[in-house]
Amino acid sequence: MSGTSLDGIDSVLVDLGRPEPIQLANYYLPFDDTLKNSLLALHQPGHNELHLAQAVGNQLARMYAQSIFPLLSQTDIAAKQVCAIGCHGQTIRHRPEHGYSLQIGNAALLAELTGITVVSDFRSRDIAAGGQGAPLVPAFHDHLLRHPGIHRVIVNIGGIGNLTNLAPGRPASGFDCGPGNMLMDAWCAKHTGKPYDDNGAWAASGQVLPELLERMLGEPFFSLTPPKSSGRDLFNTAWLLGRLTGHEAAVDVQATLLELTCATIAQAIRQHCAGAREIYLCGGGAHNQALVNRLSALLADCSIRSTGALGIDGDLMESTAFAWLAQQALHGKPANLPLVTGARHPCILGAIYRSL
């Protein structure tokens, strides 16, 4: 999995032959600045973008492959014993309103380089059925983390924040809430040179700017009724700069961005997950103590913990989910949740590039 945070590749080797997935090994391969900047550029129209997208997609395939072999070397499992690689690819455009979501990564090349069957392109089939193609991980949350008697909400805080509502006796629902770490990371990198605000310490040293927060919360996306999804196509640096007067202190903008992430998550839970008792966090934002503290204050009547408390490493949640989604594809089983994505019906997701 390489997501909207554009930090690198999370690879996990998962045994799905048991009632609960067993994470056998994991490996992280970071992106360098050149690749990250190339991916950022591809989020917007530009010169020769078709060629650049294909070239960067090939580069990503080689990096995905480079992450597989160190992963397997941690175990006595050979490539030929692996059923499949579930590879989401790197999203460079997410425009379901226009009927597409584009992920690059050249799954055919990845299969050739590894000798392992690859399942990719998980979003297109759902979009073809009228859905958003996202979020897809709530189906895995529903499969694995539902409790028969406790109302749980799983909140992923990656580049984008999204939630899964698991109310006993009701179908799972979920949607993207808004920016997770994306805007905070970009602002932090611009003004401190660091890729992220460690533990939210910089944000905690600033003051929330109420007028700026109000302008941000005026974004129409936040008031849309689910199903809804988003990404860098909306929440990018230009979006942020368009809401600044230019007189704000950088540290206060960071504090306000953290408040925006927390406020939109809390608002989504209050509005769409009434009665929730337990909230479990995953993704990079779960490591931001200032963010966790603020969410705990806004949702004081709920317990807030990491998904690690349920036995799933929050940093590996999405990569594990795509292993499960690949298994669903190989078994010919639907893996989308129409209530989440808005698709007209359940769909078998993914294109399969089989290895001999």
174-179: average pLDDT: 97
Q: Is 242 annotated as a binding residue?
A: no
Share of the chain above pLDDT 90, in %: 98
Query: What span, in angstroms and rounded, lies between the C-alpha atoms of 184 and 200?
Result: 9
Phi and psi angles of residue 286, each rounded to the nearest 5 degrees, phi first: -65, -15
> pTM of the predicted model, to two decimals?
0.95
Give the model's pLDDT for residue 267: 97
Structural domains present in the chain: 8-132+316-353 (3.30.420.40), 138-314 (3.30.420.40)
End-to-end CA distance of the chain: 24
Q: Is 8 annotated as a binding residue?
A: yes
Q: Is 114 annotated as a binding residue?
A: no
Q: Is 160 annotated as a binding residue?
A: no
List, for residues 234-267, the tens digit of each pLDDT value.
Answer: 999 999 999 999 999 999 999 999 999 999 999 9
Give the model's pLDDT for residue 178: 96
Q: Is 225 annotated as a binding residue?
A: no
User: Which ranges of 2-48 does DSSP label H, i.e. alpha helix?
Assistant: 33-41
Give the model's pLDDT for residue 19: 86
The first and second tokens of residue 119, run together, are 């399942």
Q: Is 76 annotated as a binding residue?
A: no
Strand order in the sheet with 152-157: 173-179, 160-166, 152-157, 278-282, 303-306
List, for residues 320-346, the tens digit of each pLDDT value.
Answer: 999 999 999 999 999 999 999 999 999
Share of the chain above pLDDT 70, in %: 100
40-54: average pLDDT: 95
**Closest Cα partner for 277 from 157, 167, 141, 137?**
167
The first and second tokens of residue 122, run together, are 């998980």
List, for residues 66-120, the tens digit of each pLDDT value.
Answer: 999 999 999 999 999 999 999 999 999 999 999 999 999 999 999 999 999 999 9
